[in-house]
Amino acid sequence: MKREVLGAAAIVFIASFCLLVIELVAGRILAPYVGVSLYTWTSIIGVVLAGISIGAWVGGIIADRYNPASALPLLLLLSAAASFGVVPLANLIGSRLLPLPESSLMLRVLSLAAIIFFLPSCLLGMISPVAVKMALRDLAQTGQVVGRIYAVSTVGSILGTFATGFFLIATFGTRRILLGVALVLLLCALIVLLGARRKILILVLLPVAAASAFAAWHWEAMESPMARDSKYFNETNYYTIRVEDRTRIDGGGRLETLALDQLVHSLNDPVNPCFLAYGYLRIFDGLARWKAQNGRPLDLLFVGGGGYTLPRCIETAFRSANIDVVEIDPGVTEVSYRFLGLPRRTRVHTVNADARWFLMQSQKKYDLIFGDAFNDISIPYHLTTREFVDLQRRHLKPGGLLAANVIDNIPSGDFLPSYLATMQEVFGRGNVTVLADGDSYARGAQSTLVIVAGGRDFRTAEPAMVVPPRDIEDAFRRGRWTVLTDDYAPVDNLLAPLFAERLRYRRR
């Protein structure tokens, strides 16, 4: 392979590698503001592909009109600058979510993705056609040269995907990764420019390189405001995790707040394990205490660990209880040990795995299964389907109960009736009940609800209340619900109206 082709292939490899790194990191950049959902990844992939497409078109025009040896280092320089700008731009506009009146979750995620990631994708997309033009010396070998360069480009994309998903994010975090991408592109620009010996461009590039080096030295300035305001901040393969200190409203002490992506997930009192700030946890706790009345040791499973709030309480209240927690993210478990009061020597047995996989491998049966894996508008759809509900049912002891928390608006929400109908199909209509915290439930407002399946012969502590049947009937009457299955579970679409409703509430 000739020197020109090797040089062009190396540049295209690096550009494609960096582009896929940016695309995968984009999900973590947007997560604290709009969560991670089907809409998030659809918007990111669509925006990046649009950027590549337009960039390739424009890059082809540039390659024909200008000297590729001069254009290529400038494109690499601009790509580096755009990569440097991703984090500051996200910090600037992410929390504001754009002033789009009554906009949907779909439009807001798409707008954020386009504003932050279109430009770097477009600039990196311009590099390939310019590099190809620089490598061509013999038109008789055009197909061979183009084929080789684009093959190398694809290899760069593949390696960028695997490196980011399996290693880079968990090791370095998104901001350091983007800093590294920018510095690599800047270094490539310098190498290409020195090789082309364009003195005028070198004079232009040196101040930019110096400024970039200064920014790299002080990369903490790129830190998210959320990170600066947090006691702990980390990006794992699953969540952006934050821990913050708060004071209890009643003045009874301090709380450790766990936030996963855009949602505050738990409020833990490190001193008092049974301080339960959320109504749905008090309902869960009431169910456990009712089950414990028969005097037998309880076998409990928590699908989703969150802040381990209720497992800590039950471990303290019921010394003989067997408590299993399936939490997919080891980072959440480690944070619970370090900051949220969960002792390392504990009877709470944690398995860091997907809950569905765990139950498929397990033969154990439980008195109660608590579903606490639904994270606001970011819900793992495969944990909502009829097949998974039936899998949980098969792991219940005779008389066992399945209790899952759901956030929705009764009667205008679409997810609650869908999930409720799915539960009813597995357990029977008469064996499913919707509970709410009587102190906070309000018809027509977003509420955290608990769906209990397995029978109606149970009790839970006040202020738990059964949601009025007319409210549930009105939700079903709207006709926008569906039984959720592995083949059809449009969970993100069903939850999208909650996002717009929340924005309207914030503006009041």
367-382 mean pLDDT:
85
pLDDT band at 31 (very low <50, low <70, confident <90, very high): confident
308-324 mean pLDDT:
94
Q: Which helix (H) or strand (E) holds 91?
A: helix 68-93
**CA contacts within 13 A on the Cβ side of 309:** 24
At 85 the pLDDT is 86
The yes-or-no verdict on residue 394 having pLDDT over 70 is yes
Percent of the chain with pLDDT over 70: 87
13-42 mean pLDDT:
89
The yes-or-no verdict on residue 457 having pLDDT over 70 is yes
At 201 the pLDDT is 53
The yes-or-no verdict on residue 52 having pLDDT over 50 is yes
Using CB atoms within 10 A of its CB, is residue 242 exposed (0-12), middle (13-18) or buried (19+)?
buried
Tally Cβ neighbours within 10 Å of residue 207.
Answer: 9
8-31 mean pLDDT:
92
At 50 the pLDDT is 96
**CA contacts within 13 A on the Cβ side of 30:** 31
The yes-or-no verdict on residue 101 having pLDDT over 70 is no
Q: Which residue has the higher pLDDT, 420 or 137?
A: 420
The radius of gyration computed from the CA coordinates of the chain, to the nearest angstrom, equals 27
Paired with 402 in beta bridges are 369, 453
At 220 the pLDDT is 47
The yes-or-no verdict on residue 400 having pLDDT over 70 is yes
Q: Which residue has the higher pLDDT, 471 or 401?
A: 401
Which of these, 331, 269, 271, lies nearest to 305 by C-alpha position? 331
The pTM for the full model equals: 0.83
Mean pLDDT for the chain? 85
* Range name among 123-137, 196-210, 369-383, 398-412 with the lowest pLDDT average: 196-210
Give the best-scoring range by mean pLDDT among 331-340, 407-416, 459-468: 331-340
Task: Quote the distance between the C-alpha of residue 71 and its chain's center.
Answer: 37
CA distance 310 to 199: 67
CA distance 259 to 254: 16
Say if CB 418 and CB 450 are below 8 A apart. Answer: no
Task: Quote the distance between the C-alpha of residue 462 and its chain's center.
Answer: 34
pLDDT band at 438 (very low <50, low <70, confident <90, very high): confident
- What are the pLDDT digits (tens) for 60-98? 999 999 888 888 988 998 999 899 889 888 888 876 544
The yes-or-no verdict on residue 102 having pLDDT over 50 is no
* Range name among 153-157, 294-298, 409-413, 429-433 with the lowest pLDDT average: 409-413
DSSP secondary structure letter of residue 230: -
In three-state secondary structure terms, 302 is strand
The yes-or-no verdict on residue 42 having pLDDT over 80 is yes
At 340 the pLDDT is 92
How does strand 322-326 pair with strand 299-303? parallel
Which of these, 444, 425, 424, lies nearest to 434 by C-alpha position? 424
The yes-or-no verdict on residue 327 having pLDDT over 80 is yes
At 263 the pLDDT is 80
Q: Which residue has the higher pLDDT, 51 or 104?
A: 51
pLDDT band at 253 (very low <50, low <70, confident <90, very high): confident
pLDDT band at 138 (very low <50, low <70, confident <90, very high): low
pLDDT band at 222 (very low <50, low <70, confident <90, very high): low
For 136-198, where are the alpha helices, taking DSSP H only? 142-163, 169-172, 174-196
Tell whether the torsion through CA atoms of 40, 46, 52 and 55 is positive or negative.
negative
Q: Which two structure tokens, joined as six digits, stand for 185?
A: 């592109």
DSSP secondary structure letter of residue 168: I
44-48 mean pLDDT:
96
At 426 the pLDDT is 97
At 39 the pLDDT is 85
pLDDT band at 475 (very low <50, low <70, confident <90, very high): confident
At 26 the pLDDT is 93
Percent of the chain with pLDDT over 90: 47
pLDDT band at 202 (very low <50, low <70, confident <90, very high): low
268-288 mean pLDDT:
91
Percent of residues in the chain assigned helix, strand, coil, to nearest 5: 60, 15, 25
**What residues contact 15, with CB distance under 8 A and at least 6 apart?**
76, 79, 124, 127, 128, 131, 153, 156, 185
CA distance 424 to 417: 10
Q: Which two structure tokens, joined as six digits, stand for 318?
A: 């019921």
CA distance 398 to 365: 9
At 493 the pLDDT is 83
- What are the pLDDT digits (tens) for 204-217? 555 555 555 555 54
348-374 mean pLDDT:
95
Say if CB 246 and CB 255 are below 8 A apart. Answer: yes
